């Protein structure tokens, strides 16, 4: 009770901090989904989103009889379900096969500059960035393209960059059967660049290290290698 009263007092005395569009990261590694998230099939979701997006456009005063606009509700609905938010559906998670580490390569393997497009869950505007991932084999290896696919799977949903970083790291640890995983993400957030403060020069950087990457020398080697120019 005392903690609750303290929080309420802080909110009252610091309205300029708490009454903001920049919501803090919740700390959960799970994307917040309703229990009935997958009861509707994709076709029905597209139909419903099209209907509601049409209403949004009408409220904004747009003329949907115009040749350029009349197909927009359907295009947006299809894009949401089949493209930019397809990572919400576990059925779209990439299938990953492991292979024996025949070469007995025991150093870190890095896939850097993995480009991705995501969307900020606070304003539904793009996050554009690149991810650097690394792991040290525990006897198994994975096809390089699968690392890219895992990154893009978690990017294809409304996201918070901190959560996305943790989700990628957790999935890689499970898939690769090792704790020796590192993930660094750097991204431009259009909710910062195109609205609000309108800062086009800043970038957001997040990281997740586990296993051998908690060792300072190993982590420094990883960070040095991902900054080497091609």
Task: Let me know: does 179 contact 173? Beta carbons within 8 Å.
Answer: yes
Instruction: Confirm whether 120 is a catalytic residue.
Output: yes
Of 120, 159, 162, 167, catalytic: 120
Tell me the C-alpha distance between 209 and 152, whole Å.
Answer: 19
Of 159, 162, 167, 191, catalytic: 191
Select from 222, 204, 230, 213 the least CA-distant residue to 132: 222
Residues in the chain: 230
Of 50, 132, 167, 189, catalytic: 189
Instruction: Confirm whether 3 is a catalytic residue.
Output: no
Instruction: Confirm whether 121 is a catalytic residue.
Output: yes
Of 121, 179, 186, 221, catalytic: 121
Instruction: Confirm whether 191 is a catalytic residue.
Output: yes
Of 122, 179, 186, 221, catalytic: 122
Instruction: Confirm whether 189 is a catalytic residue.
Output: yes
31-64: burial string, b at 16+ Cβ within 10 Å, e else: beeeeeeeeeeeeebbeebbeebbeebeeeeeee
Helix (H, G, I), strand (E, B) or coil at 159: strand
Of 74, 123, 179, 221, catalytic: 123
Tell me the C-alpha distance between 120 and 188, whole Å.
Answer: 11
Lookup: tokens for 175: 């898939």
HSE-CB at 87 with a 13 A cutoff on CA atoms is 22
Residues forming a β-bridge with 56:
none
How crowded is residue 189: how many other Cβ atoms within 10 Å of its Cβ?
22
Tell me the C-alpha distance between 110 and 116, whole Å.
Answer: 17
Of 111, 132, 159, 161, catalytic: 161
Active site residue ranges: 120-123, 161, 189, 191
């Amino acid at each position: 009770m005392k903690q609750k009263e303290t929080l309420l007092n802080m909110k009252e005395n610091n309205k300029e901090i708490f009454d903001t569009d920049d919501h803090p990261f919740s700390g959960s590694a799970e994307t917040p989904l309703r229990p009935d998230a997958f009861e509707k099939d994709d076709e029905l979701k597209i139909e419903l989103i099209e209907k509601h997006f049409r209403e949004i456009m009408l409220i904004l005063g747009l003329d949907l009889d115009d040749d350029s606009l009349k197909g927009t509700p359907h295009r947006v609905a299809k894009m949401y379900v089949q493209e930019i938010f397809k990572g919400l559906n576990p059925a779209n998670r990439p299938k990953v096969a492991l292979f024996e580490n025949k070469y007995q390569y025991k150093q870190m393997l890095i896939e850097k500059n993995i480009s991705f497009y995501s969307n900020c869950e606070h304003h539904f505007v793009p996050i554009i960035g690149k991810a650097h991932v690394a792991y040290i084999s525990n006897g198994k290896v994975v096809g390089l393209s699968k690392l890219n696919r895992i990154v893009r799977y978690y990017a294809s949903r409304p996201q918070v960059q901190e959560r996305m970083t943790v989700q990628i790291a957790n999935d890689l640890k499970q898939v690769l059967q090792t704790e020796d995983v590192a993930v660094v993400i750097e991204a431009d957030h259009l909710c910062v660049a195109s609205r609000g403060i309108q800062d086009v020069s800043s970038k957001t950087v997040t990281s997740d290290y586990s296993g051998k990457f908690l060792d300072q020398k190993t982590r420094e080697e990883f960070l040095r290698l991902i900054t080497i120019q091609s």
